[in-house]
Structure 1
Amino acid sequence: MSTKLPIIVVTGFTREVRTVERPGIVAIAGGGAPAQLEQALDAAATVGARGIVSYGLTGGLAEGLRIGDWIVGDRLTGAIDHTCDTAWRDAIAAALPGARVGAFFADGRMIDTVAEKRALGERHGALAVDMESHIAAKVARAHGLPFAIVRIVSDEVGHLLPHAITVSMRPDGGFDREAMRRSLADDPDQMRDVVQTMAQFATGFRGLRRGARLLGDGLACPV
């Protein structure tokens, strides 16, 4: 039996957690609740870990990225500037054929216009955005742990998540179907975009499961 410490995996939705669950993994969903996420990550890191990786769906900030493309972080900008562990980055990229390596942006906000997505990508030289990586990086830095980001594109730079999707994440990372229904009742014209977005998410979740298998038990962590 392995005596190695676990890898801490940070996601947004609990459904992302399920794509990577296995022995040696401590997966924690952020659920759009940063203080709660930081507390949970700090507790897990205090017990002991080999490293922290931000894993899950991501929104593209650069032209040319398509649904299902893998992005591996080399640095993070936004709420915190942090360089990803180079050995872990390279091992992840080698395990995921076609993966793009580049910067992520994260400051906890839900980016609410296509114009801002494009502007953030250009201003920061970032390929993608998520809502958890800055918390994960903060905790990794505090505990002196290697940090990595590997995420799969579930919406392109020219696509804006509809309101019914943005209100559907519960603080525990679950999916709030009632909030989605209320939003759709208020604005039924969202339906087509919601259906498209859910199909994109489904593609992303399938990719996350395949990616977890390709990365192996330690998610390619070289430590």
Structure 2
Amino acid sequence: MTVGVIVGMTSEAALIPPGPKLACAGAVPARAESLAQALLDQGAHALISIGIAGGLDPALEPGAVVVGSGVHVDGAVVACDGAWASRLLSVIPFSRAGLVFGADRVIGGTEAKHRLFTDHGAVIVDMESGAVARVAARAGIPLAVLRTVADPASRSLPRAAMAALDEDGNPRIGAVLAGLARRPWELAGLIRVGLDSRAALSALRDSLKIVGPTLGV
């Protein structure tokens, strides 16, 4: 089965093993949706959203691995493929299943994270999975989500980190530095974001090495 992979950042794309069809959405939900559809048009028979995510469940620390049980998007839940999720959970050590919230904007504040956790039961949030879930649901094909936690529920993202990516998923260093120049007190928070992201990408790299080019499908 040919798998289509959607990620948000080039650093995530670099971790995907050769084989699957791959597209990087730059954390833009509309772009993620169009790219996911394009992968189907190119012959993908299943879709998976892979990358780092924001933590909503207070129990999840940076680097925690979550396999999606479903994606909350447009006020409803799109179920992930049960067999696919079970295979991922069985081979990735310390991974856990959970509901993913598909956001259309950055969810960086602790209060907003708490609301998503308590109101919807979602354990992580990202900006690609909702779009990928829409495409998979329309096409009636298997869907999976494999995400690792970067910023945990207990920490808010600094404003300077909100514009960290361009539409191709590359870091916008200039924009981050400009924000930091306006709000130098955010430096400690940005350093923390960098450490959290490093832990998340390391856990994602280890997980992808285990599942290999088939991605567990």
TM-score (norm 1): 0.93
The answer on 1:62 being equivalent to 2:57 is: yes
In 1: Cα distance, 2:13 partner to 2:114 partner: 29
> Which of 20, 31, 42 is the matching residue for 1:25?
20
In 2: Cα distance, 1:32 partner to 1:72 partner: 19
Q: Aligned runs of 1:105-116 on 2, under 5 Å?
A: 105-116=101-112
The Cα of 1:140 is off from its aligned counterpart by 1.1
Q: Which residue does the alignment assign to 2:67?
A: 72
Q: Which residue does the alignment assign to 1:193?
A: 189
Q: Which residue does the alignment assign to 1:119?
A: 115
The answer on 1:215 being equivalent to 2:211 is: yes
In 1: Cα distance, 2:127 partner to 2:35 partner: 16
The Cα of 1:100 is off from its aligned counterpart by 1.3
Is the contact between residue 65 and residue 94 of structure 2 (CA under 8 Å) also seen in structure 1? yes
Counterpart of 2:33, as a letter, is E
CA shift digits 1:8-45 (9 cap, x unpaired): 111111110111141x2122122132222222221111
In 2: Cα distance, 1:189 partner to 1:74 partner: 38
Counterpart of 2:171, as a letter, is F
Counterpart of 1:38, as a letter, is E
Is the contact between residue 20 and residue 208 of structure 1 (CA under 8 Å) also seen in structure 2? no
Q: Which residue does the alignment assign to 1:181?
A: 177
Q: Which residue does the alignment assign to 1:95?
A: 91
The alignment partner of 1:8 has SS state of strand
The alignment partner of 1:155 has SS state of coil
User: Where does structure 2 lack aligned partners over 5 or more consecutive residues?
Assistant: none
The answer on 1:36 being equivalent to 2:44 is: no
The answer on 1:165 being equivalent to 2:151 is: no
In 2: Cα distance, 1:176 partner to 1:89 partner: 33
Is the contact between residue 21 and residue 27 of structure 1 (CA under 8 Å) also seen in structure 2? no
In 2: Cα distance, 1:96 partner to 1:19 partner: 16
User: Where does structure 1 lack aligned partners over 5 or more consecutive residues?
Assistant: none
TM-score (norm 2): 0.95
Count of residues in correspondence between the two structures: 216
> Which of 44, 48, 58 is the matching residue for 2:43?
48
Tell me whether 143-152 or 36-45 shows the greater mean CA deviation. Answer: 36-45
In 2: Cα distance, 1:104 partner to 1:38 partner: 16
Is the contact between residue 84 and residue 148 of structure 1 (CA under 8 Å) also seen in structure 2? yes
Q: Which residue does the alignment assign to 1:153?
A: 149
Q: Give aligned-pair identity as a percent.
A: 29
In 1: Cα distance, 2:176 partner to 2:189 partner: 13
Q: Which residue does the alignment assign to 1:204?
A: 200
The Cα of 1:145 is off from its aligned counterpart by 1.4
In 2: Cα distance, 1:56 partner to 1:143 partner: 22
The Cα of 1:89 is off from its aligned counterpart by 0.5
Is the contact between residue 54 and residue 132 of structure 1 (CA under 8 Å) also seen in structure 2? yes
Q: Which residue does the alignment assign to 1:133?
A: 129
Aligned-pair RMSD on alpha carbons?
1.3
